[in-house]
Structure 1
Amino acid sequence: MSRPNALYEAPGPVGRRRQRAVSVLSALAVCGLLVAIGIRLEASGQFEADKWAIFLHWGTAKFLFDGLVSTIAAAACSALVAFAMALPLALWRLSKRPWVSRLAGAYIEFFRAIPLLLLILFMVIELPSLGFDWPALGFLVFAMALHHSALTAEVVRAGILSLPRGQCEAALALGLRPAQAMLYVVLPQALRSMLPALISSVLAIVQDTSLGYVIPYDELLHRSQDVSSYAPQSLLQAAFIVTLMYGVVSAALLYLKRWVMRRQGRAPAKSTARSGMTMSSDVAAEIGASIVSASPRE
């Protein structure tokens, strides 16, 4: 049985037929657009073998794959640092002390407002003058951690606020201190509910690593530009292959997000069914006890 949606009314037979017709027409329009683009590219000679020949060499494939590894390494380091910073930021944002909450809010609003590209350029230009002689990866990770920690802190704060207040109140009623209630009761449930959103944050971090080409950090986009500089006739082909490589990583993260959402949607159903079976057995036991008590004794 499907769960009713409070945002809109389910379409009837006419509405479903209309939706199917619109979907078919949209798919045909997209296919027609792709065919038109393909014809245009064919007319301009973009499918000629000499423009794709460089990508058939093992050295080029390894060169681009090493760039993908550098991209994943930068994204992993940035995600770890950003998430480690986001958790205390979210807790400070929820603090009952006004000055702590305001400082955390000012940090979040400040680094959310600054474009990431400008922040990376600022780190590369200013930090070396202050004596920070870091490699390109360090500047990229530091800038991305500052930016995405502010974004992720809001995700964590929203996850904490989405829980019913009764969870924390029940923990306090059991004798736990507020910090213990947050650590042992609220945060585990909030992190579980916000896991799909955190995976989306990782996806955004992976895509933002492409801004490392301005440092320059030797990531995937920068290496594709090196290939294009070596073979200028293959500029569009290099962009297409790099887009596919980014798409593979993004598709893997999206699949992981959907898998987590399916598991999270299945868990409440299992617990509900289990509680329903327990309740039905309890009701059956009560009915049996009442029948036995109401039967005439010899």
Structure 2
Amino acid sequence: MSTVAVFGLLAAIGMRLQTSGQFDADKWAIFLHWGTAKFLFDGLVSTITAAACAALAAFALAIPLALGRLSMRPWISRLAGAYIEFFRAIPLLLLILFMVIELPSLGFDWPALGFLVFAMALHHSALTAEVVRAGILSLPRGQREAALALGMRPAQAMHHVVLPQALRSMLPALISSLLAIVQDTSLGYVIPYDELLHRSQDVSSYAPQSLLQAAFIVTMMYGVVSAVLLYLKRWVVRRQRRDGATRGAKAAITGAAGAAEDVAKPATRFGKL
């Protein structure tokens, strides 16, 4: 029923747009020029560049923050927790504006990309640190205890046993974090950073009659990037389920073979008697 309602709403919106002349050829003509397409594509490249730099910085900060939050030393845990809570609470848009206004007065004469990446790295490292911490806590305690029983120090057990398994299990959540970073690059228009949303505003300023059309095309471009990341996330989830099922089947076969050997051994002993 909800699907029918959604299609009905979309049909009503389409009819309204048709009535107001939004599908007229003259409002879409500017997007048929190669220069406009290249202009928007360059904006998409800028968006992906900012997202990639911010993601690398945020993920690099998130792991030590998560480990610090789990530290047995209270002052390290509290310091990491204060960082996470502080930058989670500040809206990213205000953080970007603060960076642009305050950092130049301190001598940081960065390009717009630097301010955007720095602000996004601070904000998303706090968010991703909680994802990493949850992934570590979700593992069975036996993994760490087995590593300690083998003679590893706690730090070695965390880095060589616990953390690799946690990162593997929370890979879908990290892809979701990357998707959020891509979408948040649109806030760079306030700097202004020449990303996709800012390029669409330039197009609509040059052709005011195509304002809605520019917004639609940019939305579709963002949608393509989001669809690729969502497909990657679903592929990773399916791969992890398949690997888990394979490991479970191997364990079941090994367990059944061991049980059969245990049953056969007494029979052998009795036969010798």
- In structure 2, the residue matched to 1:31 is 7
Of the structure 1 ranges 86-95 and 72-81, higher mean CA displacement relative to structure 2 is found in 86-95
Q: Which runs of 5+ in 2 are unaligned?
A: none
- Tell me how far apart the structure 2 counterparts of residues 148 and 292 of structure 1 sit (CA, whole Å): 63
2:164 corresponds to 1:200: no
Match of 1:164 in 2: 140
Corresponding position of 1:220: 196
- Structure 1 pair 45–124 and aligned structure 2 pair: CA distance change class (3 A): same
Matches within 5 A, 1:181-192: 181-192=157-168
Between the aligned partners of 2:78 and 2:272, the Cα distance in structure 1 is 73
Instruction: Identify the residue that residue 19 of structure 1 maps to in structure 2.
Output: none
**Cα deviations across residues 34-61 of structure 1 (Å, max 9, x unaligned)?**
1100000000000000000011111111
Query: Offset of 1:285 from its aligned partner?
Result: 4.2
TM superposition shift of 1:231: 0.3
Closer/same/farther in 2, CA of residues 280 and 164 from structure 1, 3 Å limit: closer
Counterpart pick for 2:212 among 236, 259, 276: 236
Amino acid at match of 1:129: S
1:89-112 deviation digits (Å, cap 9, x = unpaired):
111111111111111111111100
Offset of 1:260 from its aligned partner? 0.7
Cα distance, 1:265 vs structure 2: 1.0
> What secondary structure is seen at the aligned counterpart in 2 of 1:95?
coil
Match in the other structure for 1:18: none
Matches within 5 A, 1:64-143: 64-143=40-119
In 2, the alpha carbon distance for the partners of 1:293 and 1:172 equals 38
How far does residue 277 in structure 1 lie from its aligned partner after superposition?
Answer: 1.9
User: Which segments of 5 or more consecutive residues in structure 1 lack a partner in the other structure?
Assistant: 1-24
For 1:282 and 1:92, the matched residues in 2 are separated by 42
1:279 equivalent to 2:265? Answer no
1:173 matched to 2:129: no
Percentage of pairs with the same residue: 81
Q: Kindly provide the amino acid, as one letter, of the partner of residue 61 in structure 1.
A: A
Residue 133 of structure 1, CA deviation: 0.5
Normalising by structure 1, what TM-score?
0.88
Q: Distance in 1 between matches of 2:244 and 2:66?
A: 27
CA apart distance, 1:279: 2.6
Question: How many residues are aligned here?
Answer: 273
Write the letter of the residue equivalent to 2:122.
L
Partner of 2:23: helix, strand, or coil? coil
Offset at 1:26?
1.3
Q: Tell me the equivalent position of 1:53.
A: 29
* Residue 186 (structure 2) aligned to one of 210, 223, 226: 210
Higher alpha-carbon deviation: 238-247 or 160-169 = 160-169
Report the TM-score, using the length of structure 2 for normalisation.
0.96
RMSD: 1.4
Secondary structure at the residue paired with 2:256? helix
- Per the alignment, residue 150 of structure 1 pairs with 126
Q: Deviations over 1:4-52 (max 9, x none)?
A: xxxxxxxxxxxxxxxxxxxxx1111111111100000000000000000
The amino acid across from 1:278 in the alignment is: T
1:170-198 deviation per Cα after TM superposition (whole angstroms, max 9, x unaligned): 21121111110100011011101111110
Question: Taking structure 1 as reference, are residues 285 and 100 closer, same or farther at Cα in structure 2, changes over 3 Å only?
Answer: closer
User: Which secondary structure state, in structure 2, belongs to the residue aligned with residue 96 of structure 1?
Assistant: coil
3-state SS in 1 of match to 2:4: helix
Q: CA deviation at 1:274?
A: 1.1
Q: Provide the secondary structure at the position in 1 that maps to 2:71.
A: coil
2:235 equivalent in structure 1: 259
1:85 CA drift (Å): 0.6
Cα separation, partners in 2 of 1:40 and 1:163, compared to 1, 3 Å: same
The whole-number CA distance in structure 1 between the counterparts of 2:139 and 2:204 is: 51
Equivalent residue letter for 2:137: L
Kindly provide the amino acid, as one letter, of the partner of residue 209 in structure 2: Q
